[in-house]
Amino acid sequence: MKPTTLLSTLLPLTSAYSIPKDSTAPSSNAFKIPTARESAILARRILTLTPLGTISTIFPSTTSSRNPPGIEGKPHALMEYISACDPLAPSNPTLLSLNISSTFRNAANANLSLAITWTPPPLPPPSRSFLSHLNPFSSEPPVQPQSYSAAALPRYSLMGYLEPIPGADDPKSDVGKLVQTCYTNTHPDAKYWLPGNRIHESHFVRLVVTEIYWVGGFGDRAYIGWIDAKDWESVTEKEIEGARLPGEKPLEGGDL
């Protein structure tokens, strides 16, 4: 039996991208590294499918008396709920800002960054061959499934600033209905701290994206670098739906 190496189990999954094809482009089966524009499509799909991200802020020069002395100017990064629920600006992540949160206190009138990583669906558990199941005393080792290398999976950072989403805090407005329904579909537990709750003051805000830095995986098979904000904003819903990320099931009938 040919020995299985870590490299052989990781590499087949590192280039498993599917991007909607340009119908005007010549047909070719040769592998090519995705362009920055194609990477923008993948990044927007990740935003649509990923509920969590890490927001990095800087403690301002004037901070709460509860903070330790000398904390001003130091970086601060925490996990936050994210979503793509803004009907007015769908390329900007939707966040529920709680006034009690150090992340959103730091972000008031300041720049921040949001780091997002693609997490594929779980791989199937190890299994033995069919013949080994006929013999319960078989010493045949489990067949190891392919594994994802975290270094090979796409991740990126969005830089920008926060601003309110007009009408999103009002559950009776058209925008409020759309945003709050979409957000609680992604985060059902968030229904307890929607705007107007009795626990904490909260507001829906958007992260206005000004810069995007993308790491698609290993550099010999993925794009690494800056994505133009216009490319990020111009991605269509059809392109997002037509793209596939590592670990996702391919579209029926093949790639678009």
Average pLDDT of span 4-9: 36
Confidence of residue 7 (pLDDT cuts 50, 70, 90): very low
In the three-class reduction of DSSP (H, G, I as helix; E, B as strand; rest coil), residue 65 is classed as: coil
Dihedral over Cα of 184, 190, 194, 197: its sign: positive
Q: What is the pLDDT of residue 121?
A: 85
User: Cα–chain-centroid distance for residue 22?
Assistant: 24
217 vs 14: CA distance, rounded Å: 7
Confidence of residue 62 (pLDDT cuts 50, 70, 90): confident
- Checking if the pLDDT of 12 tops 80, the result is no
Task: Name the phi and psi angles at 114, rounded to 5.
Answer: -125, 120
The torsion angle over the Cα atoms of residues 192, 193, 196 and 197, rounded to 10 degrees, is 50
Q: What percent of the chain has pLDDT over 70?
A: 78
* Apex 165 CA angle, 103 and 187, nearest 5: 60
* CB burial of residue 41 (10 Å; 0-12, 13-18, 19+): buried
Q: What percent of the chain has pLDDT over 90?
A: 66
Position with higher pLDDT, 41 vs 138: 41
Average pLDDT of span 88-116: 95
Give the DSSP H or E segment for 94: strand 94-98
In this structure, the number of other CB atoms found within 10 A of the CB of residue 34 comes to 21
- Checking if the pLDDT of 173 tops 90, the result is yes
Average pLDDT of span 118-143: 64
- Checking if the pLDDT of 201 tops 90, the result is yes
Query: What one-character-per-residue DSSP string does 103-123 give?
Result: HHHHHTTSEEEEEEE--PPPP
Average pLDDT of span 150-167: 96
Confidence of residue 5 (pLDDT cuts 50, 70, 90): very low
Average pLDDT of span 29-44: 90
Does pTM surpass 0.85? no
Q: What is the pLDDT of residue 232?
A: 98
Average pLDDT of span 213-228: 95
Q: What is the pLDDT of residue 179?
A: 98
- Checking if the pLDDT of 157 tops 60, the result is yes
Average pLDDT of span 13-17: 54
